[in-house]
Chain A
Amino acid sequence: MAKYILRRLLIFIPMLFIVTIVVFTLATLAPGDPLTGQQLDPTIDPAALEERREALGLNDPPPVQYINWLSEVATGNLGDSLYFSGRTVQDLIWSRLPNTVYLAVFSLFITLVIGLPLGIYAARKQYTAADYFVTTFGFFGLAVPNFFFALLAVYFFSFQLGWFPAQGTQSSASISGLAEFLDRLHHLILPGLTLGLASVAIYMRYIRSEMLDVLSSDFVRTARAKGMTKGTVVYKHTLRNATIPIITLLGFEFGTLVSGAVVTEAVFNFPGIGQLFLTGIQNRDFPLIMGINLLIGVTILVGNLLADIMYAVVDPRIRYD
């Protein structure tokens, strides 16, 4: 197992390398640079902009820029942001990452807590009114656009009922400790629900069809035949076998966990990596784009590795040598 993990980790390095080259090429192919937007202000001398381009290295040929960037990264530094003047990329990422992680973990929690039980329930009551109801409910969540659901949630739960704050990550910058934690949790609920409910249907459908599949397999019939209760069969034998695809799904989710939810972050003004990434792309801030991509790349690869390891835990028949 240890050997397997080591081998996988070693394969990461060339993969990440290729990812950075592709992203860099795409980022530099896009027209414009971080300074083009400043030309709306005619009091700025174009010659000064040109000097700044020179100072930032934007006039270097792309391969030189890439090598400069890579040598920064080799020293453990993600470089200076071009758009956020005076700040480093890791500083920017660190300032946004906690929000993204809170939001992702909380929404994933909501997805699983609602999606899995509903899926199991639907599988047990296949083709009943309850099954159809649950399925419709799930697809409704999937079909309603995120921003629309977000605005509805703000309107009802915040403006009408006043239960949850409509915007932001905390109500005051000067609180700390437990009060801050509870306050942040309170701010997390609406965006978390918005994001979480949207993917309930995916997990629900997966677990339902997988359960049905396993329920109709021979060993289940055998277990029932030898007198085990239905509950034991469903939760001990079937569920465990049905979680394999869910683990695969979670492995992928790990990557989106970091890339964030641009729309939800925007509507609730929940400043996370998604918004930062969008700002970076819109302003051609390639060190920032590259930094976030690297982060996403690493988390996707780690997520998949964790999923592989989890397979072996859930299903002991799976072995890695």
Chain B
Amino acid sequence: MNLKKWWSFLLALTFSVLLLAACNGGDDETGTDPEEPADDNGEEPADDENGDDDGDDDTAGEASEGGNVNIAFFSPPEHQFNPIYYTSTYDANVMDFIFEALFRTDDELLLQPHLAESYELNDDQTEMTITLNEGITWHDGEAFTADDVVFTYEMISHPEYTGVRGTYADKLVGYEDFRAGESEEFEGVVAEDDQTVIFRWEESSVTPEFNASFPIIPEHIFGAVEPGEIESHESSIATGEVVGTGPFMLGDFVEGDQYVLNANEDYWNGAPNLDTVTLQVRDQAVITGLLESGDVDMVIQPDGIVPSDVASVEQMDNVTLYQPQDLGYQYMGFKIGYRPSEDVEAGVIDTDNFIENEKLSDVRVRQAIVHALDREAMVGGEDGEGGLLQGSGQVLHAPFPEASWAFDENADIGLEYDTDRAMELLAEAGYEDTNGDGFVEDPNGEEYVLTLAYPTGNEPRENAAIVIEQQLAEVGINVNVDTPREFPAHSEIVENDDQSIDMYLMGWGLASGDPDPGGIFTSHVPYNYTRWVDETSDEMIQRGLSAPDAFEQEYREEVYSEWAEYVSEQVPYAFLWSMINNWAATDRVGGITEDPVTMLKDPHLWYVQE
């Protein structure tokens, strides 16, 4: 081949590439919604409040039937679309369109009947009789009945169930026997007739609606499958059909790229306005560009706009930001005690065996550390200036963010940023700089160094480690910041009580369920990673759930307010911040229901306005 041929070949290639670009480039302007039908589509007239029958023209702001909405995710789902086995929040998002539960939270985070029509509780709240809504069908046309509810709870209690959702069922009557395979009948959930189901608990349930709010899976599909095979059944992993009762059904997908959800025209709450919703996996780095160009219509949970992009999104005329507070929070845990390595090995948690960490067992030292932290500065100003979070968060003093009903707005709790007070407390506890190196020594005059471990993966949290080191150095506490670990590795050293660490950074992502802090703060529970043993706190937590007083929410609010004050003084954690979500939607999408925990409530009401 001679040089001329080479060049002409190259030239030809360049031209064909450009040609291809030009052909498709034209498509792109209209091609963002390939499923969008022509305006004069033959859909039946809308039968809901948002329908607009003369939606045939393109007048700005007019709602129209049909169309597609693109929602961006930053990571692909794992393709486990069965509520009893899923673990990833991305899968949960897909399933939010498809599956429904008997109860769901309202905009004050209280559970209200959803698939259930009404319910009755007996006096000691050990039995709940639920009447189901009539006329609900599964995506394949089968009727939804009480048997499906019973089946779902049986599956998460089944001897062969290997998922992790058993907490919804494990207080029901007969759970132990059923789980052990000793009984064929599960007395805890019984179908009275097609529309009536009864839940029975061993002891009074303080949160009966929550316990009955697990998403329901279809018996007519999974009843024929061996319980041990459900996890890999085609109706779970989306190579076949995923069947739910929700407003949308899973349609075509390109794995790891996009998932098309088709409208369920027979949805019991009214047919969706949209024809499709497309969930697209997109890189976070280009998301603002995609929003501006209209390629993406919504950026929602679990991601949202990253704090550093919020300012530029606010500038966009076509985008609305939704900024509810997240229920999760970030904290710095103090390793007050460690499990001995024999107990770690044996998987035992015995509070009597905990080894005290003398560096942090004095509460004054922990308080001093909290006083030394300028958490306001970490969060950043209201105007979105500065800080690790650029204003997208709130300082926290107890594990109840403002959005939770357990948050007491009148309580004046928490330890403010006050370096003088911090140094005073340290001096009181006997920590003073005796050798003049700028750092305090412990009461025995020994060098005092606290080791801080933190994981990679959450940028503000990663940066917080360095800020904490600097701020504590200002009051004379020497912090040795460990090299960051990947989350699984970090989690393991925290959970397995690695005695080389004194403090660790971590977060809790709290569901909207119930604010009971018992699962994390009770002395003997595994998630009490700080190994904080405190009878007063345990007693208060217990009181928050004790029947019959705790049937009244006001009573619980009081108990939790008291406990919040106590925990903010005892400081097992230095609570850092709770995030503010930055969810965005372009003005093309109408009918979005505002809700403190989700953007995915009632997507059948969404519509497209051009």
Over the window 167-203 of chain A, the binary record of Cβ atoms lying under 8 Å from chain B Cβ atoms (1 yes, 0 no) is 1111111110000001101100100000000000000
Query: Which of chain B's residues 57-84 have a Cβ closer than 8 Å to chain A?
Result: 76, 78-80, 82
Knowing A87-B237, A113-B13, A174-B34 are in contact, say whether A41-B254 is a contact too (CB < 8 A). Answer: no
Residue among A31, A182, A268 with the most chain B CB within 10 A? A31
In the assembled complex, which residues on chain A have CB atoms less than 8 Å from the CB atom of B6?
117, 120
B164 in contact with A52 (CB, 8 Å): yes
**Tally of A-B Cβ pairs under 8 angstroms:** 205
B489 in contact with A44 (CB, 8 Å): no
A298 close to chain B: CB less than 8 A = no
Pick the interface stretch among A12-20, A154-162, A302-310.
A154-162
CA–CA, A33 and B487, complex, Å: 10
Measured CB to CB, the closest approach of chain B to A269, in angstroms, equals 5
Query: Which of chain A's residues 83-109 have a Cβ closer than 8 Å to chain B?
Result: 83-88, 95-96
In the assembled complex, which residues on chain A have CB atoms less than 8 Å from the CB atom of B10?
113-114, 117
B590 close to chain A: CB less than 8 A = no
In the assembled complex, which residues on chain B have CB atoms less than 8 Å from the CB atom of A55?
162
A22 close to chain B: CB less than 8 A = no
B508 close to chain A: CB less than 8 A = yes
A48 in contact with B166 (CB, 8 Å): yes
Residue of A nearest to B260 (CB): A173
B488 close to chain A: CB less than 8 A = yes
Interface size on B, residues (CB 8 A): 84
Knowing A51-B162, A154-B286, A185-B20 are in contact, say whether A173-B519 is a contact too (CB < 8 A). Answer: no
A71 close to chain B: CB less than 8 A = no
Contact of B281 among A86, A158, A168 (CB under 8 A): A168
A173 in contact with B293 (CB, 8 Å): no
Query: Which of chain B's residues 486-519 have a Cβ closer than 8 Å to chain A?
Result: 486-493, 495, 507-511, 513, 519
In the assembled complex, which residues on chain B have CB atoms less than 8 Å from the CB atom of A165?
28
Knowing A84-B78, A235-B2 are in contact, say whether A52-B163 is a contact too (CB < 8 A). Answer: yes
CA–CA, A30 and B87, complex, Å: 22
B280 in contact with A43 (CB, 8 Å): no
Contact of B527 among A36, A37, A39 (CB under 8 A): A39
A271 in contact with B76 (CB, 8 Å): yes
A173 in contact with B80 (CB, 8 Å): no
Knowing A83-B78, A117-B7 are in contact, say whether A231-B35 is a contact too (CB < 8 A). Answer: no
A235 in contact with B257 (CB, 8 Å): no
Contact of A162 among B29, B35, B286 (CB under 8 A): B29
A32 close to chain B: CB less than 8 A = yes
B486 in contact with A174 (CB, 8 Å): no
A136 close to chain B: CB less than 8 A = no
B34 in contact with A42 (CB, 8 Å): no
Knowing A85-B85, A95-B255, A271-B257 are in contact, say whether A48-B167 is a contact too (CB < 8 A). Answer: yes
Query: Which of chain A's residues 254-272 have a Cβ closer than 8 Å to chain B?
Result: 266-269, 271
CA–CA, A263 and B1, complex, Å: 36
A275 close to chain B: CB less than 8 A = yes
B289 in contact with A173 (CB, 8 Å): no
Measured CB to CB, the closest approach of chain B to A307, in angstroms, equals 22
Residue among B252, B286, B289 with the most chain A CB within 10 A? B286
Knowing A85-B231, A162-B29, A174-B34 are in contact, say whether A32-B280 is a contact too (CB < 8 A). Answer: no
CA–CA, A85 and B80, complex, Å: 6
Residue of B nearest to A281 (CB): B486
A162 in contact with B491 (CB, 8 Å): no
Contact of B35 among A96, A154, A169, A174 (CB under 8 A): A174
A222 close to chain B: CB less than 8 A = no
Measured CB to CB, the closest approach of chain B to A126, in angstroms, equals 16
In the assembled complex, which residues on chain B have CB atoms less than 8 Å from the CB atom of A169?
254, 257
Q: Is the interface of B mostly helix, strand, loop or mixed?
A: mixed
In the assembled complex, which residues on chain A have CB atoms less than 8 Å from the CB atom of B251?
173-174
Knowing A40-B509, A186-B20 are in contact, say whether A166-B290 is a contact too (CB < 8 A). Answer: yes
In the assembled complex, which residues on chain B have CB atoms less than 8 Å from the CB atom of A171?
31, 34
Knowing A42-B527, A113-B10, A159-B293 are in contact, say whether A87-B24 is a contact too (CB < 8 A). Answer: no
Knowing A48-B167, A167-B283 are in contact, say whether A87-B232 is a contact too (CB < 8 A). Answer: yes
Contact of B2 among A34, A164, A231, A275 (CB under 8 A): A231
In the assembled complex, which residues on chain A have CB atoms less than 8 Å from the CB atom of B21?
163-164, 186, 189
Residue of A nearest to B1 (CB): A235
Measured CB to CB, the closest approach of chain B to A92, in angstroms, equals 9
Measured CB to CB, the closest approach of chain A to B277, in angstroms, equals 12
Knowing A48-B166, A48-B167 are in contact, say whether A42-B293 is a contact too (CB < 8 A). Answer: no
B513 in contact with A43 (CB, 8 Å): yes
Give 21 pairs: A residue, B residue, CB < 8 Å, sorted on A.
A36-B487, A40-B508, A43-B167, A48-B163, A48-B167, A52-B162, A52-B164, A86-B231, A114-B10, A117-B3, A151-B285, A154-B286, A155-B289, A162-B29, A163-B22, A167-B290, A168-B257, A169-B257, A173-B254, A235-B1, A266-B283
Residues of A in contact with B (beta carbons under 8 Å apart): 30-34, 36-46, 48-52, 55-56, 80, 83-88, 95-96, 113-114, 117, 120-121, 147, 151, 154-155, 158-159, 161-175, 182-183, 185-186, 189, 231, 235, 266-269, 271, 275, 282-284
